[in-house]
């Protein structure tokens, strides 16, 4: 997150002032990333489909005395005006959607971002992951069952990302392995920074 925030600040020196422009945290959850950006004086709006997670984010923002507006909404269609954002981040949200919804969600990001607006996406990667313990219900999408729960994860390939990011210039695409204490064997993620084309 710090690297992306630094890139935004550097980009502002050569273009629009992103500290005044609106940054969207799509799928903000409990607000960790939104609050970090707010502490760095970015104008941030958190959006999430869960009222419970938004309430958690609101309590944390109040405790830290940070004014972070929060809106309920979810992909693939968000209740915001076209071109409202100078930057947008979406971390570990896309993998919970179907392939069609991911494609439409990235199209929604194009709609919301201004020309040259910056995008950060982090999502589960197919390359380097071992999801075979789940049931494949759609290409690269696996259903995991356990403890009375079902979790559906789409493991995105590099090719899918490049196709879905039509209308963006990819600035950086990093494939990263990580180990998390979970029964879902994710194993790897994509970190993508991109710029919306005019």
DSSP 59-74: HHHHHTT----EEE-B
Could you tell me the pLDDT band of residue 177, with boundaries at 50, 70 and 90?
confident
Q: For residue 198, give the nearest of 64, 41, 83 by alpha carbon.
A: 83
Does the pLDDT at position 179 exceed 80?
no
12 band by pLDDT with thresholds 50, 70 and 90: low
CA quadruple 21, 160, 101, 167: dihedral positive or negative? positive
User: Max alpha carbon distance in the chain (Å)?
Assistant: 52
Q: Which stretch, 9-13, 121-125, 147-151, 174-178, has highest mean pLDDT?
A: 121-125
* H or E element that contains 174: strand 168-177
Rounded to whole angstroms, the Cα distance separating 93 from 2 reads 19
- Least confident stretch, 48-57, 93-102, 126-135: 126-135
Phi and psi (nearest 5°) for 65? 55, 50
Q: Which residues contact 13 (CB under 8 A, 6 or more apart)?
A: none
CATH class of 2-196: alpha beta
How does pLDDT run across 98-125, given as a tens digit for each residue? 999 999 999 999 999 999 999 999 999 9
- Report which of residues 57 and 187 the model is more confident about: 57
Range list of β-strands (E), 69-112? 70-72, 85-91
Dihedral sign computed on CA atoms, order 163, 167, 169, 173 = negative
SS3 121: strand
Cα–Cα distance, 5 to 168 (Å, whole number): 19
Over residues 84-104, the pLDDT tens digits come to: 999 999 999 999 999 999 999
pLDDT at 192: 97
Whether the pLDDT of residue 46 is over 60: the answer is yes
Asked if the model's pLDDT at residue 3 lies above 90, the reply is no
Residue 7 pLDDT exceeds 90: no
Please state the rounded mean pLDDT for residues 123-149: 87
Verdict on whether the full-model pTM lies above 0.85? yes
Please state the length of the chain. 198
Residue 17 has pLDDT above 60, yes or no: no
In the prediction, which pLDDT does 4 show? 84
Domain locations along the chain: 2-196
Is pLDDT larger for residue 131 or for residue 83? 83
């Amino acid at each position: 997150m710090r690297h992306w925030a630094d890139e935004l600040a550097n980009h502002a020196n050569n273009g629009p002032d992103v500290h005044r422009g609106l940054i969207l945290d799509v799928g903000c959850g409990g607000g960790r990333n939104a609050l970090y950006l707010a502490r760095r004086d970015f104008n941030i709006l958190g959006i999430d489909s869960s009222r419970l997670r938004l309430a958690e984010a609101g309590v944390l923002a109040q405790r830290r005395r940070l004014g972070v507006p929060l809106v309920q909404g979810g992909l693939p269609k968000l209740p915001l005006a076209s071109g409202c954002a100078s930057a947008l981040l979406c971390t570990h949200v896309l993998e919970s959607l179907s392939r069609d919804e991911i494609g439409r969600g990235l199209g929604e990001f194009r709609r919301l971002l201004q020309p040259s607006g910056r995008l950060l996406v982090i999502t589960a990667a197919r390359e380097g992951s071992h999801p075979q313990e789940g049931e494949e219900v759609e290409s690269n999408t696996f259903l995991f069952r356990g403890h009375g729960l079902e979790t559906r994860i789409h493991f995105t390939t590099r090719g899918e990302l490049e196709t879905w990011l039509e209308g963006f210039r990819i600035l950086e695409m990093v494939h990263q392995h990580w180990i998390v204490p979970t029964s879902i064997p994710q194993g790897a993620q994509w970190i993508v920074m991109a710029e919306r084309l005019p």
